Structure 1
Amino acid sequence: MSKIAIVTDSTAYLSETLREQNNIKMVPLNVVFGDEAIQEEVEITASEFYERMKTTEKLPTTSQPAIGLYVELFEQLKRDGYEAVVCITLSSEISGTYQSAMSAADMVEDFDVRGFDSKISCSPQGYFVLEAEKLASEGKNIEEIIAHLEIMRNKINAYFMVDDLNHLHRGGRLNTAQLFVGSLLKIKPVLHFVDGKILPFEKVRTEKKALQRIYNLLDEGVAGKTNVQVTVIHSNRLSEAEKIAEELRAKYPDAEVGISYFGPVIGTHLGEGSIGISWYVA
């Protein structure tokens, strides 16, 4: 049985406990305040980040991991007796992390590293990671794991709404006119990933209506299905996320409903107060 390591980056936002339990290796991205680059999930937690955002005048930026971090990790895994690695990253359309990982793979001789561009991020990226680890522990080979992850793509959905359009505007997701009109009308855009990019799905006038729209999409996706995983994702709105999760557990008693978060790197682009729901129908 080949020994295959599963590697991901910090934007899957899998807890340290969960990573340790499942022997998942993680490489952190950075959130940058001025000249200070901080590794998310290692040097700063999500709650510390949102606290700092309240007192910072200039909004932070983000950066991908240094190639050297991936090289070090792959070489260590090779020394530890692993024969291959499946490396799952956030969408290559919103970060250069996938390219960094693949460049690092080329620098490690005689070691099979297969990259998988999740074309998404946050908890849906985590679905791929946990499934890959499960398959590796069952003794599946690297081709079987990658093939299974490709099939999973069509079974994963995620929709989210942002509280403040300024972050999306600054990140180039909205033009100035859209920002002005959106802010004036208090529009809460419902967003999703299309071909790895974050795009508006619908513009909704209020948060309540935006959430209701996401609930309707969830219902269309999972009603009558078994083996469903649902995750409520939040930007520093834990009590609201818990309330939504309770409602969903009552509505879908057979589904596994969990809570995750938009950490520093993704939170930089979405802003505090964002709420999302992702689901995976196995």
Structure 2
Amino acid sequence: MSYRIVGDSCSDPTEAMKQDPHFRFVPLTLIVGDTHVTDDESFDQKAFLKLVAESPEGPKTACPSPEQYLREFECDADMVFAVTLSSKLSGSYQSAVIAKQMYEEHHGEDKKIFIVDALSAGCGQTNICLRLQELCEEGKTFEEIVEAITEYRDGMKTLFVLESLDALKKNGRLTGLASVIVTVLNIKLVMAGIGGVIHKLGQERGIDRALKKMVSIAVNEGTDFEKKRLCITNVNCRERAEKVRDMLTSQVKFRDAVIVDAAGVSTVYASDGGIIVTF
């Protein structure tokens, strides 16, 4: 059966995904003060990071409309899978669900549509998109794919370390006292996305020590690495991402390892220098 995989623009794509007609991406809108930026192929990361650094207000995002998803669902494919960032972080998932309902009201059930709440972001969505394509190419039925990708999603781990907490400060996610302590002591937080919700796992002084702690947590808490794909999103820090990849792959064997550059939404969430890891 023919297929299409629709990701929102937090699904940081590989270069191959950008060129593959099976993949389509629905943009979110990035908001900094009075400036609105569409998170599509025109996104300029360096200009956006400069805009954020100079703004007293923290960046925000606005989810795609159901109509944007609907346009992607109205295609010749027999099966459509939409992958959205965590429903705990954005309304993107709900927009995709409404679009599915709209499609079925107008067209009946002439095609199979499944919406995946990634319960993650960035490379977590990339990871799910790539696994979906593998399942489609293997000739699995729609029902088999839904079952397999749900299990894959539920077994996936998301860890991240942020270089900068400026966006959190500007949005009031850190108290004034916490902001001062974290900045003065050069504290870097090691965090995880668990069930789509952000949790703090630890902290270290300095980015290198925090990344090593994240790698240690990944190695100690992960299982069946040889069956999993390692995906890493980097925000303007490719060399750092390669270092994390090498630290992980020197200790455990993954079946594949992929590094992707952050698009706009991941840049908002992880900020300049941020690293997100999923497997």
Unaligned runs of 5+ residues in structure 1 are none
Per-residue CA deviation, residues 162-207 of structure 1 (Å, 9 max, x unaligned), is 1222312334543333223322322111111122112212122222
Q: 1:84 aligned to 79, 84, 92, which one?
A: 79
TM-score (norm 1): 0.86
5+ residue gaps, structure 2: none
- Superposed displacement of residue 274, structure 1: 1.4
The corresponding residue for 2:91 is 96
Q: Give the AA of the match of 1:6.
A: I
User: Residue type of the partner of 1:4?
Assistant: Y
Aligned-residue offset at 1:135: 1.3
Query: Does the CA contact (< 8 Å) of 1:248 and 1:257 recur in 2?
Result: no
Match for 1:133: what amino acid?
Q
Contact persistence 2:215–2:244 (CA under 8 A): no
User: How many residues are paired up?
Assistant: 274
Superposition map of 1:157-236 within 5 A: 157-221=157-221, 225-236=225-236
CA distance in 1, matches of 2:89, 2:225: 31
Quick check: 1:161–1:191 contact (8 Å CA) kept in 2?
A: yes
* Distance in 2 of aligned mates of 1:122 and 1:229: 14
Identity between Structure 1 and Structure 2 (%): 24
Aligned equivalents of 1:197, 1:107: Cα separation in 2: 29
Residues 62-87 of structure 1: per-residue CA shift (max 9 Å, x gap): 11112221122212x1xx2x233221
1:221 Cα deviation after fit? 4.5
Q: Distance in 1 between matches of 2:218 and 2:21?
A: 28
The 1:254/1:102 distance shift into structure 2, 3 A limit, reads closer
Question: How far apart are residue 230 of structure 1 and its match?
Answer: 1.9
Pairwise CA distance, 1:270: 2.6
Moved more, 128-137 or 152-161: 152-161
Tell me the residue number matched to 2:30: 31
SS of the residue corresponding to residue 226 of structure 1 reads helix
1:90–1:224 CA distance, 2 compared to 1 (3 A): closer
1:12 alignment counterpart: 11
TM-score, normalised relative to structure 2: 0.86
Give yes or no for contact 1:22–1:133 (8 Å, CA) kept in 2: no
* Alignment partners' CA distance in 1, 2:252 and 2:158: 17
- DSSP-derived class of the 1:242 partner: helix
Q: Distance in 1 between matches of 2:261 and 2:113?
A: 28
Q: Which runs of 4+ in 1 moved over 6 A?
A: none
Structure 2 residue aligned with 1:141: 141
Name the stretch that deviates more: 221-230 or 238-247.
Answer: 221-230
